[in-house]
């Protein structure tokens, strides 16, 4: 109805092409009404009132037909829903655009394999992409972890060194023992023990998924679980953390 009203009002003097189109159609419809009425009046001579009325009726029928056609087209318009899913490639492009705006974050950039791994971990419905809620959850975490990364990079090197790592992980909500920290450093840090931003985020995404999987099994909140292999596989596979077969 907004479309119809805009046309009939002649675009309301709107700016640009939209106003011109509305004005053009409004003028044409006005011309049909006035022109047909005038023609009927001229043909009727002294009894022009009747002729004018007949011409006006014809114009109104034309106008009614135009309105009906526009209304029907508007009612049948069914646009495709927007793509609300994020693929690994799209995630990579988004994250790399973000880090280019933060030169204080040392990183080689997010590679496609890293982003595929992150999507697999977060893809709870196994579509191969991140849905809206999945991406929102990840994005909010990344913003929070970025602030923690900067906070615990006390020497402003742009990386998190091995001595800074425990504090950063605890601030993110992950309390690990020394053995796990050593494993993480060997996996995600360079030969000097420094972890750059993309490895920091990649590691935390996996930790978050594993912690959520564990909590889903820890029904009574004791911090301990006793399960068989099938009970472990179900929630862990649901969070994209795959166990070896």
Do 240 and 124 form a contact (C-beta atoms < 8 A)?
A: yes
Query: Of 33, 49, 76, which residue sits at a domain end?
Result: 76
Task: Please compute the mean of the pLDDT values over residues 205-224 and round it to a whole number.
Answer: 82
Region for residue 70 given its phi and psi (left: phi exceeds 0; alpha: psi -120 to 50; beta: otherwise): alpha
Residue found under tokens 């971990």: 121
Task: Please compute the mean of the pLDDT values over residues 36-53 and round it to a whole number.
Answer: 46
- Is residue 128 over pLDDT 50? yes
Domain assignment of residue 49, yes or no: yes
Query: Of 52, 76, 100, which residue sits at a domain end?
Result: 76
Query: Of 25, 53, 76, which residue sits at a domain end?
Result: 76
> Are 55 and 100 within one domain?
no
Q: What is the pLDDT of residues 148-158, one digit of tens each?
A: 999 999 999 99
The whole domain housing 31 covers 2-76
pLDDT at 13: 44
> Are 16 and 127 within one domain?
no
> Are 171 and 214 within one domain?
yes
Read off the pTM.
0.60
CATH of the domain at 106: 1.10.238.10
Q: How far is CA 182 from CA 98, 145, 177, 179, 203, in A?
A: 29, 20, 9, 5, 13
Q: What is the pLDDT of residues 171-213, one digit of tens each?
A: 999 999 999 999 999 999 999 999 999 999 999 999 998 888 7
Q: How many domains does the chain have?
A: 2
Do 23 and 3 form a contact (C-beta atoms < 8 A)?
A: no
Domain assignment of residue 82, yes or no: no
> Are 72 and 156 within one domain?
no
Percent of the chain exceeding pLDDT 90 equals 43
> Are 106 and 186 within one domain?
yes
> Are 66 and 95 within one domain?
no
What's the pLDDT band for 81 if we cut at 50, 70, 90? very low
> Are 124 and 191 within one domain?
yes
């Amino acid at each position: 109805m907004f479309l119809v009203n805009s046309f009939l009002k002649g675009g309301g003097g709107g700016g640009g092409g939209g106003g011109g189109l509305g004005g053009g159609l409004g003028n044409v419809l006005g011309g049909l009404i006035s022109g047909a009425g005038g023609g009927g009046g001229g043909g009727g001579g002294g009894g022009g009132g009747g002729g004018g009325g007949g011409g006006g009726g014809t114009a109104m029928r034309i106008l009614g037909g135009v309105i009906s056609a526009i209304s029907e087209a508007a009612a049948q318009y069914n646009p495709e829903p927007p793509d609300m899913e994020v693929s690994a490639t799209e995630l990579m492009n988004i994250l790399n655009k973000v880090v280019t705006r933060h030169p204080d974050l040392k990183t080689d950039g997010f590679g496609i394999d890293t982003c595929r791994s992150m999507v697999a971990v977060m893809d709870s419905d196994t579509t191969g992409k991140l849905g809206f809620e999945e991406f929102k959850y990840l994005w909010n975490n990344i913003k929070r972890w970025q602030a923690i990364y900067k906070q615990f990079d006390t020497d402003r090197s742009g990386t998190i060194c091995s001595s800074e790592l425990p504090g950063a992980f605890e601030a993110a909500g992950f309390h690990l023992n020394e053995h796990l920290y050593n494993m993480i450093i060997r996996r995600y840090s360079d030969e000097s023990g420094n972890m750059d931003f993309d490895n920091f985020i990649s590691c935390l995404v996996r930790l978050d998924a594993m912690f959520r999987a564990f909590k889903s099994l820890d029904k009574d909140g004791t911090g301990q679980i006793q399960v068989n292999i099938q009970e472990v596989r179900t929630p862990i596979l649901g969070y994209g953390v795959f166990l070896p077969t």
